[in-house]
Amino acid sequence: MREASVKRKTKETEIDIWLNLDGTGVYDVKTGIGFLDHMLEQLSRHSLMDLTVRAEGDLHIDFHHTTEDTGIAIGEAFAKALGDLKGIRRYASALIPMDETLTRVALDISNRPYLIWKVGFSRDKLGEMDTELFKEWFQAFAQAAGITLHVENLYGTNNHHIVESCFKALARSLRDAIEIDPRRADAIPSTKGVLGGSL
């Protein structure tokens, strides 16, 4: 199975990640930030990736470092578990409704990280978490995982629904993009034979 562990330790955070791309969506997440835990649990459950997260950070300052570094560490584990990217479908997208909200995610596991984030919030916080930190998590994850990632909330009014639909749409897109294509199981999904750099 495609799995990886990552340990990341800085003066601001200490994070341990274990991730299995070919799992069943089993999670055990403890970051010290309740709302972030909830979102990472959604990511695991709807992508079918098994995910264990242990994070300790300088939450007495704010949640920024823990949020960003968790995104980096999960992204690093994701890239490590994928290995040479051979056989994956590479591209995927998802439209996820959640009551009055609709969010679209499209991604390319390309080794060319890039984030387009078209998501707005009408509140500064969800629980104790600053809503501006969700972009930081997606940016950190996309950069570390090597993913071109477009996230767009098409409409919605409930801020909880908006951000949860973003994580669920990411999860469903990842689930499809990392699947092995039986018609090209031994091939890198690129005309140049490697992923990264120009097309």
Q: What is the pLDDT of residues 65-75, one digit of tens each?
A: 999 999 999 99
Is residue 197 within 8 A of residue 112, CB to CB? The reply is yes
Is residue 50 within 8 A of residue 72, CB to CB? The reply is no
Each of the 199 residues of the chain gets a pLDDT tens digit; together they read 899 999 999 999 999 999 999 999 999 999 999 999 999 999 999 999 999 999 999 999 999 999 999 999 999 999 999 998 989 999 999 999 999 999 999 999 999 999 999 999 999 999 999 999 999 999 999 999 999 999 999 999 999 999 999 999 999 999 999 999 888 878 777 655 666 544 4
**Distant-in-sequence, close-in-space partners of 182: CB < 8 Å, separation ≥ 6:** none
What pLDDT is recorded for position 184? 83
**Nearest CA to 150 among 75, 85, 82, 93?**
93
**Nearest CA to 39 among 91, 98, 100, 82?**
98
Domains of the chain, with CATH numbers?
3-177 (3.30.230.40)
Strands 13-20 and 101-109 come out as: unpaired
The pTM of the full predicted model, rounded to 2 decimals, is: 0.94
Distance CA(21)–CA(50), nearest Å, equals 7
